[in-house]
Amino acid sequence: MSDVVPSEKNLTPALNFNVEEVRRDFPIFTQEIYGHPLTFLDTAASAQKPNCVIEAIKDCYSNEYANIHRGGYFLSQALTAKYEEARKTVQNHIGAQSEKEIIFVRGATEAINLIAQTWGRKNLKAADEIILSQMEHHSNIVPWQMLKDEKEFTLTVSPIDDRGNFLFDDYEKLLSEKTKLVAITHISNALGTITPLKEIIKAAHKVGALVVVDGCQALPHMEIDVVDLDADFYVFSGHKVYGPTGVGVLYGKQELLNEMPPYQGGGDMIRSVTFEKTTFNDLPHKFEAGTPHIVGGIGLGVAIDYLKSLGFKNIHDHERALLNYALEKITTVEGVELRGRADHMAGILSFTMKAAHPHDIGTILDQDGIAVRTGHHCAQPVMDFMDIPATARASIGLYNTKDDIDRLIDGLHKVNRIFA
């Protein structure tokens, strides 16, 4: 997606994608908020759930539930097969070479902490360096800071410009033999910037550094091939991919995962236990201690199948048209300043208004049934860089329409009238 000036071609609905039919897959859109249609523009925080995911969760608890792995009876074996099939769905979707490279976790936050506390604790030393970008989510900053306090390595920030572009030339100059890890977002949750990920990874590998990718904002909007990217680690959360909360994925190259110690101890991650010694299970179970979020994993697999049934090109084209339409329309609102206008953008509009604080903007929009996110979006360093405390953020999902954008714009005009 880009922020180019929209043309009539840009605004043409994607072929084979009927957004009104898609919206009927999401029961939440049958309700009104304060007497107004629900206009949900906060998909970057968490996506709404289609009926197929809701029904899969309900059916699992109603008709199929048992604890998985090691159960010798029908229900346990059947649900184990379904859970592991979901793992293969994820594997195939992101192009991983083996299901052993797919670790189910609670979300991207846990995945990054797992990498920091296993690979990082084992491999990083005081003379080493990690490079982060200026626009990382706190979940891709704080785990490394916590480890830095213990290991005393250097954290270096790769800059962005005032439009939110990742400055690749500056990043390349930072890389050195001291650089052991680059932790980078695929798409900024605060600005919508799409980073030049393949080039970032290639440059890091030239100096022998590994790359951890926060893919939370990318998975819902584009096809991902971790082998083509050559990503060492790629993480995402299920709830942002139209799946359940409480489940996510850590992809890691098998040779790296094999060398990493377990993150937690308990059931399922062991091969044998005595009071003298424990031997650990094979991948992926070595990193999945205890009873997993069984229904969450299955629901995530269903969500991915749903997205694939719609077609990622259709989703991309639909969301790009809406983004371009929104970029055109928002310029008609007096006093709006976009806080992300990178050359390559996903469907995120982060903005401020001269007339009102972002929290006031969000409150007024909510009165008309319009849901946007306000605050620092767990990206305070971005706000500090722009010298602002917060933004209002409208983010686009596959179920959004031009009417949603029009209602947002009308709401922003209303903000100006109230604070005039």
Q: Report how far apart, in Å, the C-alpha atoms of 241 and of each of 47, 148, 283, 288, 307 are.
A: 7, 31, 24, 21, 8
60 in catalytic set: no
Name the phi and psi angles at 318, rounded to 5: -65, -50
Name the phi and psi angles at 210, rounded to 5: -90, 165
Task: State the Cα–Cα distance between residues 249 and 104, nearest whole angstrom.
Answer: 5
What are the tokens at 167?
Answer: 């400055």
Query: Which position among 52, 60, 216, 378 bears the catalytic label?
Result: 378
Question: Is the Cβ–Cβ distance between 140 and 185 less than 8 Å?
Answer: yes
Catalytic residues: 378
